[in-house]
Structure 1
Amino acid sequence: MASSNGRRSHLKWLVPGMHVKRWLLLLMLGSIVLSLGFAILIRSAADSHTFSPIVYFGMLQFADRPLRALVFSGMGLGLIGLALYKLSQALVEPFLRPGQGHVADIVYQHRRRRGGPKVVAFGGGTGLSTLLRGLKKYTDNITAIVTVADDGGSSGRLRQELGLPPPGDFRACIAALSDAETLTTRLFEYRFSEGMGLNGHSFGNLFIAAMTNITGSFESGLAEASRVLAVRGQVIPSTLQDVTLCADLREELEDGAEGWRRVQGESAIPGLGQRIERVFLQPEDARAYPAAVKAILDADVIVAGPGSLFTSVLPNLLVDGIARAVKAAQAPRIYICNVATQPGETAGFGVGEHVESLNRHVGEGVFMHVLANNNTRMPIPAPTAHFEWVTPPTDDLPGVSVYLADLVDRQRPWRHDSELLASAIMQIYAQLTNSQARAEKTALNHSVPAPTVVQLR
């Protein structure tokens, strides 16, 4: 079985897009020209010298010329192949980590990911890093656009003390996109439990803060951190301005009437347990980061979520210019609905309520495709019994195509499984960009599609 896998791995050198066959042909052409030179030299020597019987038999002079040519050509190709194989091992082996597999497999995966679609993903918190962890197996062309409205924990302290955007969500995304993800995640998530000034800070937040000071700007610090950690893609903010997330909450007054309450600060919003009617940024005219707008307009597919709807996803889209850029983009635009409701934020929400809230904040038609979970049969673990499944729609949602798939993480069923989620997104992308859909892509994204519910495999 192992030798069979090895042979299949070696054959991947011949797969289109590996950029190997052209150089093999050039090598063979050079070998043929060199062989012709030697043949002319030997023929000249044979005309003027008499060789011993050993040379006579070694050159197969007793055989017909076609047979001699076939034998020597086969021997030459075999020697060239063996030499290339051993040479690639000698040159590449020092750069491989144990257990990475065959060089051909690694190069094949690298080439495939480099040619993958350009994906732009919005969000923050655990949901975005879960998505990125799955997407990086399909493409290296990933842009994660992260909210800068976080004001709690270590990120909030660094934001107040150093005046830089909160690094927490950026830290999680960088770790998720890193080649050495497991070790990087453990290192970046390491939180100091003692030490004056260090207590409560995570190493990843301090690392990004240090990179910001060294490079002179937050965006340069992110870029250098990504380069050092071999990140696939890029992690950028939706805006570089200091913004505060605010919310209008609906509350019941003592006389039974309903009133409104305004709350400032992302960390203060979910804990109040009141219905969120509206979230907005202060200042409301915060300018979008130009690199984020460019990535959106150049994207092949745009994804929002998963994550906290009001405190992770919407803060990105509320930045001036971001939603307009998304709507102007020619790429398919997919909103990923959460697997479970979030207490204090989306309690009692189904897919329809998520879509309605999204449309109410950024306008209808910005996201016209929705991906939702349809596996609501798994038992709810006792410690997390307070969560509820986000129920799929029973009827079509106006102006929206809904794609349903099993997206549940078996270990933590209130979250998405990164591999199932990424696979579903790639399926939707393939369906929307096949030969027929490619010709209709503009209509799919800039006019109201017929409502549909599609079950993915």
Structure 2
Amino acid sequence: MSDRKQMNRDWETWRRWFAPGIGVKRWLLLLALGAIIAGIGIGAFIVELGQQDLLVGDIYGLITLSFLPVGLRILIPLFAGGILIFIAVFKLSKNIVAPFRAPGVRVVDSLHMYTQKSRGPRIVAIGGGTGLPALLRGLTEYTNHITAIVTVADDGGSSGRLRRDMGVLPPGDFRNNMAALARDEALMTQLLQYRFGGQLHGDGNGRNGLQGHAFGNLLLVALTGITGSFDEALVAAGRVLAVRGQVLPSTLANVTLVADVIPEAQVEPQRIVGESSIPKALGRVEMVALEPAEVPAYPQSVKAILQADLVVIGPGSLYTSIIPNLLVKDITRALQRTRAKKIYVCNLAVQPGETDNYNVADHVMAIQRHTVVDEMDERGIIDVVLANRNLSVPPTTGGGFTVFVKPDDPGSVPMVTLDLVDEKRPWRHDSKKLSKAVIDFV
């Protein structure tokens, strides 16, 4: 029984080499044709040597197999030559591909996956925070043409310190998304997310210069110094990490996110300055804006949107990750003009300080309210809303208390509801479920 299973596996491996779409058959046929033509030339050369009596009769007879019947003289060289060519091609391809394939993965499987992904759709994902990497991680199973467009308004934690001290754009969201797109995602995530803690000696005040910083943030800052600009640093980091796609900023401008928030038990809004301060205000967000308001979009981000087959907005923090990208007016204009289908992926759970008591319709209305660039232009930036319908997971699962966003129909745009929840961490999307649902829209 085991021998039969092994034979079936071997047959399946050989069959996949000739499966449509991996670009092998045409080149094998071309190789065979070249070998035949070369063989004809070599054969003509040997015959000419024999006719000129430049080869001893026994040697000539051995080379031409003249001692065998005509049929065998044709079949034996064809069969032996074909076997040698196939072995050479197989071993050569195995050695060439070996450095680039995952351990335990067959050459034919690596080739098949690479070919399919290289022909995959061009997908742009807009957002930031911890929500977007879950989507990107799943999309890498379907395509290599992924562009993540990330906000540059972050001013908290390690990113905020580097932004203030080094004068660079906040690297945190870029680090998270590049880790999700890295070829060796598990190792790269551990490396890029590694935070320096108290194991280093401080300056006498209980703190050291590296404490709290993520290694990935420092890597991007270092590459910015080496390359001379943050966007070139992203390109360099993409090469270093073998990123499957690209991560781009919505703008290269130094912007500050401000919000009008109505605190609890008050009726007048307060102006909150800084992305990290908005959730801490613990009130109802009326509006958010960028300062300065008029900033140019990063050209490559606009180009990616216009050339995309599919644009996904979210998931991510509504007011501090998603809408800041859309406040860059050229980004919104590109979304209005692109031919790609535009999907808004609504968050699974409400976010305290931002979307308390929000349902899906509230999320959509907030986006629509902040993306009116031209009142005469009625083209929207959302074609369909994708929301979670599985609200049955206990809210205390995973050690927190998840308050799910109710899938109330927004009315203004169609909505599709599916089971998208990660049942171990119900406040997050399941990467495989979400990516499969998104790919089905292509």
TM over 0.5: yes
Whether the 8 Å CA contact 1:177–1:232 is kept in 2: the answer is yes
53 and 271 in structure 1: CA distance in 2 versus 1, 3 angstrom threshold: closer
Q: Is the 8 A contact 1:365 1:399 kept in 2?
A: no
Is 2:397 the counterpart of 1:388? no
- Pick aligned residue for 2:360 from 351, 374, 383: 351
Deviations 1:360-412 (A, max 9, x none): 1114721121111111112222565532111223x5x4341212221111221
Partner deviation per Cα, 1:179-212 (whole Å, 9 max, x = no partner): 1111111111111113421111111111100000
Q: Say if 2:169 is the partner of 1:165.
A: yes
The one-letter code sitting in structure 2 at the alignment partner of 1:63 is P
User: Normalization by structure 2: what TM-score?
Assistant: 0.89
Q: CA deviation at 1:69?
A: 2.7
Alpha-carbon contact 2:264-2:282 (below 8 Å) kept? no
> Equivalent residue for 1:282?
291
- The one of 89, 92, 101 equivalent to 2:94 is 89
1: distance between equivalents of 2:165 and 2:37?
A: 69
Query: What is aligned with 1:302?
Result: 311
Q: Does the 8 Å CA contact 2:257/2:291 hold for their aligned counterparts?
A: yes
2:113 maps to a residue whose letter is: Q
Deviation at 1:96, TM superposition (A): 4.5
Q: Is the CA contact 1:120–1:299 (under 8 Å) kept in the aligned structure 2?
A: yes
Query: Would the alpha carbon gap of residues 4 and 101 (structure 1) be closer, same or farther in structure 2, given more than 3 Å must change?
Result: farther
Partner amino acid, structure 2, of 1:20: V
The more displaced of 273-282 and 360-369 is 360-369
The farther-off stretch of 53-62 and 190-199 is 53-62
Deviation per residue, 1:100-123 (Å, 9 max, x gap):
411121122112111111111111
Of 194, 218, 222, which residue of structure 1 is paired with 2:234?
A: 222
Alpha carbons of 1:32 and 1:251: their partners in 2 closer, same or farther (altered >3 Å)?
same
Aligned to 1:110: 114
Q: Does the CA-based 8 Å contact 1:174-1:231 persist in structure 2? A: yes
The answer on whether the counterparts of 1:100 and 1:106 sit within 8 Å (CA) in structure 2 is no
How far apart, CA to CA, are the structure 2 residues paired with 1:225 and 1:10? 38
Q: Please state how far the C-alpha of 1:98 moved relative to its aligned partner.
A: 5.9
Shift of 1:137: 1.4
Aligned residue for 1:428, secondary structure, equals: coil
Task: Say whether 1:366 aligns with 2:392.
Answer: no
CA contact 2:397–2:426 (8 Å) conserved in 1: no
2:323 maps to 1:323? no
Give 5+ residue unaligned stretches, structure 2. Answer: 203-207, 373-378
Q: Does 1:378 align with 2:396?
A: no
Q: Distance in 1 between matches of 2:102 and 2:398?
A: 38
Shift of 1:14: 2.8
Q: Which segment is superposed worse, 375-384 or 227-236?
A: 375-384
Residue 251 of structure 1: aligned partner: 263
Counterpart pick for 2:415 among 395, 402, 411: 402
Moved more, 302-311 or 13-22: 13-22
C-alpha distance in 2 between matches for 1:164 and 1:57:
73
> Partner of 2:375 in structure 1?
none
Q: 1:59 corresponds to which letter in structure 2?
A: L
- Cα distance change on mapping 1:281 and 1:53 into 2, 3 Å: closer
Q: CA deviation at 1:415?
A: 0.2
Over the aligned positions, Cα root-mean-square deviation in angstroms equals 2.4
Separation in 1, partners of 2:369, 2:220:
35
Q: Distance between the aligned counterparts of 1:98 and 1:144, measured in 2?
A: 24
Task: Give me the TM-score of the superposition, normalised by structure 1.
Answer: 0.86
Q: What does the per-residue CA deviation read over 1:296-324, in whole Å, with 9 as the maximum and x for residues that have no partner? A: 11111111100111110000001121111
| Distance in structure 1 (CA, Å) of the matches to 2:102 and 2:123 | 30
* In structure 2, C-alpha distance between the alignment counterparts of 1:237 and 1:2, rounded to whole Å: 50
* Structure 2 equivalent of residue 438 of structure 1: none
Find the counterpart in structure 2 of residue 11 from structure 1: 15
Instruction: State the 1:258 CA deviation.
Output: 1.9
Distance 2:367 2:162 in 1: 30
| Aligned-partner residue type, residue 197 of structure 2 | S
Retained in 1: the 8 A contact 2:305–2:335?
yes
- Match of 1:342, SS state, is coil
CA contact (8 A) 1:193 1:199 kept: yes
Relative to structure 2, which stretch is displaced further, 169-178 or 106-115?
106-115
- Return the alpha-carbon distance in structure 2 between the equivalents of residues 156 and 204 of structure 1: 14
The unaligned stretches of length 5 or more in structure 1 are 430-457
Once the two structures are superposed, what CA deviation does each residue of 1:47-83 show, in whole Å capped at 9, x if it has no partner?
6688559957993755353x54344323322221112
Distance 1:348 1:278 in 2: 16
Question: Would the aligned equivalents of 2:101 and 2:107 in 1 still touch at CA under 8 Å?
Answer: no
What CA deviation, in whole Å up to 9, does each residue of 1:326-376 have, x standing for no partner?
111010000001111112211222211111111111147211211111111
User: Structure 1 residues 382 and 421 mapped into 2: Cα distance closer, same or farther (>3 Å)?
Assistant: closer
Tell me the alpha carbon deviations over residues 259-312 of structure 1, each in whole angstroms, 9 at most, x when there is no partner.
211111111111222111111111111221111111111111111100111110
Aligned match for 2:84, one of 66, 79, 92: 79
Q: How many residues of Structure 1 are paired with residues of Structure 2 in the alignment?
A: 422
